[in-house]
Amino acid sequence: MEYTLERARRYEAEALRDISKLNRPQYHLTPGVGWMNDPNGFSFYKGKFHLFYQYYPYDTNWGKMHWGHAVSSDLVKWDYLPAALAPDSTYDHEGCFSGGAITLKDGRQMLMYTGVSVTKDENGNDMTVQQQCVAFGDGIDYKKYEHNPVIETKDLPEGASKLDFRDPTVFERPDGDYGCIVGSCDADKDGQLLEFKSKDGINWNYVGCLLKCNGKLGRMWECPNYFSMQGKRVLVFSPQEIRNMEPEFCDGNQTVCITCDEPEGEFKPKTKQCLDYGTDFYAPQVLNMPDGSKVMIGWLQNWDALRHNEKNRMFYGTMSIPRSISFKGDRLVQEPVKAIEAYRKGETRLKFALDDDLSRNERIKGRNFDMTVEVSPEEGETRYSEFSIGLAEGGGCVTLLVYDPEKKTLTIDRSKDGTERERFNERSCVLYGDRGDGNLKLRILSDGYTLEVFVNDGVNVLSAVVGTDVSAEGIYFGAAGKAKVETVFYNM
């Protein structure tokens, strides 16, 4: 099949005419049609937020990657624009993989992405390579640079993989040049981040290895972000195949944040934090907002937990809610962008007590909501030993959030969400800063098949996709022992 941009644009325009809005999330971005994974080129350009994404319009499975494109004025309501890139050139015929965007000094927007292609090695055998490419545009149409790729496998340092060299993030350096960090792995298959610089976005020079893993943090490091915030230098990236390193991380692919206190020079890691402790969040990008604050958006899925629960739909994949990020001390905290509050419908406030029982209320149910829950022990009583919330309950299914104040853990358990096949269903984390006194605050965003749980003002976040049919709308609260609960519930 020949993949051209024109064909993709024609196909998606046709498909969008037929696809009903029913069954889509209410306040999260999905692709108009087909498959979506990583966010790409998350940027503010010509007065609008632009989000590109890994995209295969023709199927709900991953295929030869295009870049889909959407724009928004508030980061919540998105309008689709025509696809921005198709894998139509010799250097990217196997896919236009992830990358970033930057506004050039002359006002054009430059997209930087990984072109995947098959060439021949020195013995004449087929060899897949990943190289960095650019395209220039006006916010709608982008023209690939005629001499792509701009960073080639021959620019790599000794030992770096030619196959695993992808996902450039591009930014303006303090010296006014353009900088770029690319994910890579070395000869031992350990993750590393490579830095390049350029005066024009086209001619790039290798600067050095910004950070490497030395066997301590998974394999290939995907989708790097590099920025300064509140006096720290920050790296956010997604290592593959983390194995049993430390309690902060579980096995598999996930997203980490590493900080460094020195403003320049060698990147000496100070803190290391997992950015989402649920089953589904990966490959986020961080946007520099016009006011200097930062917003992060991720793919609300994970390769390890991939599943096709979304039957009879013409699209697959959802973005997370955009999350405002900042540091409280050394801790990166996340909260949903304020703009989602404008999409709330109605308000239900409840206060109730639990005493070794379950409680539900007719006014609190549904699958598209924004709910805050605060729980604390009854005064003068011993602390309860467990607090739980049942979500998406109905038809024999329920997804549970379980808090254990003794262990200071929160667990998300979707093993009874109705999906026929075995996959990993449960994740737990020890809550940061929890005093063990039974006080807990949760903000839960549900949007059809997705859940995002922000704990104690965003010091921990857990995201998950649940497979349960959207007709399962039950919500209940339970405690082992005595607890008092306050909820504020909004439909979305």
The residues carrying an active-site annotation are 38
Which is closer to ligand FRU, CB of 161 or CB of 487?
A: 161
Phi, psi at 154, each rounded to 5°: -70, -15
Sign of the C-alpha dihedral computed for residues 227, 228, 233 and 234 taken in this order: negative
- Cβ closer to ligand FRU: 54 or 368? 54
Q: Does 65 bind ligand FRU (CB under 6 A)?
A: yes
Shortest spacing between CB 404 and ligand FRU, in angstroms: 32
Rule CB under 6 A: choose which of 30, 43, 60, 98 binds ligand FRU: 98
Virtual torsion, Cα 217, 306, 467, 249, nearest 10 deg: 0
Report the chain's C-alpha Rg in angstroms.
23
- For residue 386, the tally of other CB atoms under 10 A from its CB is 15
Tokens of 386: 């467990």
| In the complex, least distance from residue 476 CB atom to ligand FRU, rounded to whole angstroms | 35
48 forms beta bridges with 45
């969008």: which residue's tokens?
Answer: 16
Q: For residues 8 and 283, which CB has a smaller minimum distance to ligand FRU in the complex?
A: 283
Output 299 or 369, the one with its CB closest to ligand FRU: 299
Using the rule CB under 6 A, which residue among 97, 142, 489, 490 binds ligand FRU?
A: 97
Residue 3 parent element (H or E): none
Tell me the DSSP string of 70-103. EEESSSSSEEEEEEEE-S-STTTTTEEEEEEEEE
Instruction: Please give the C-alpha separations between residue 483 and each of 32, 357, 486, in angstroms, as whole numbers.
Output: 44, 10, 10
Site for ligand FRU (CB under 6 A): which residue of 12, 38, 190, 452? Answer: 38
State the minimum distance, in angstroms, from the CB of residue 96 to ligand FRU: 9
Which residue number, 5 or 76, has a Cβ lying nearer to ligand FRU? 5
Distance CA 44, CA 67 (A): 17
Cα–Cα dist 24/450, whole Å: 11
Going by their DSSP bridges, the two strands 191-198 and 178-185 should be labelled as antiparallel
C-beta closer to ligand FRU: residue 222 or 413: 222
Closer to ligand FRU by CB, 132 or 460: give it. Answer: 132
Which of the residues 113 through 152 are near ligand FRU (CB under 6 A)?
A: 114
Binding track, positions 171-210, relative to ligand FRU; x by CB under 6 A: ----------------------------------------
Residue from 166, 212, 365, 367 that binds ligand FRU (CB under 6 A)? 166
Shortest CB 328 distance to ligand FRU, Å: 29
Min CB(75)–ligand FRU separation in Å: 21
In the bound complex, what is the minimum distance in angstroms from residue 217's beta carbon to ligand FRU?
A: 16
Which of 3, 27, 34, 37 is the binder for ligand FRU (CB under 6 A)?
37
30 touches ligand FRU (CB under 6 A):
no
The only residue of 12, 88, 190, 222 in contact with ligand FRU, by rule CB under 6 A? 222
Least CB distance from residue 63 to ligand FRU, whole Å?
10
Separation CA 185–CA 204 (nearest Å): 20
Distance of CA 85 to the CA centre of its chain: 21
Q: Show contacts with ligand FRU in window 269-308 (CB under 6 A).
A: 282-283
* Smallest separation, CB 213 to ligand FRU (Å): 16
Interface with ligand FRU includes 164 (CB under 6 A)?
Answer: no
Name the DSSP class of 445: E
Residue whose C-beta lies closest to ligand FRU: 97
Q: Count the residues of the shown chain that bind ligand FRU, applying the rule CB under 6 A.
A: 13
Residue 225, interface with ligand FRU (CB under 6 A)? no
Answer yes or no: are the C-beta atoms of 375 and 483 closer than 8 Å.
yes
Q: How far apart are CA 407 and CA 349, in angstroms?
A: 29
Cα 417 from Cα 397, distance rounded (Å): 5
Residue from 111, 223, 295, 451 in contact with ligand FRU (CB under 6 A): 223
Task: Of 305, 265, 278, 255, give the one whose Cα is nearest residue 419.
Answer: 305
Q: Read off the tokens for 471.
A: 């007709």
Residues comprising the chain, all counted: 492
Amino acid at 429: C
Residues that bind ligand FRU (CB under 6 A): 37-38, 54, 65, 97-98, 114, 166-167, 222-223, 282-283
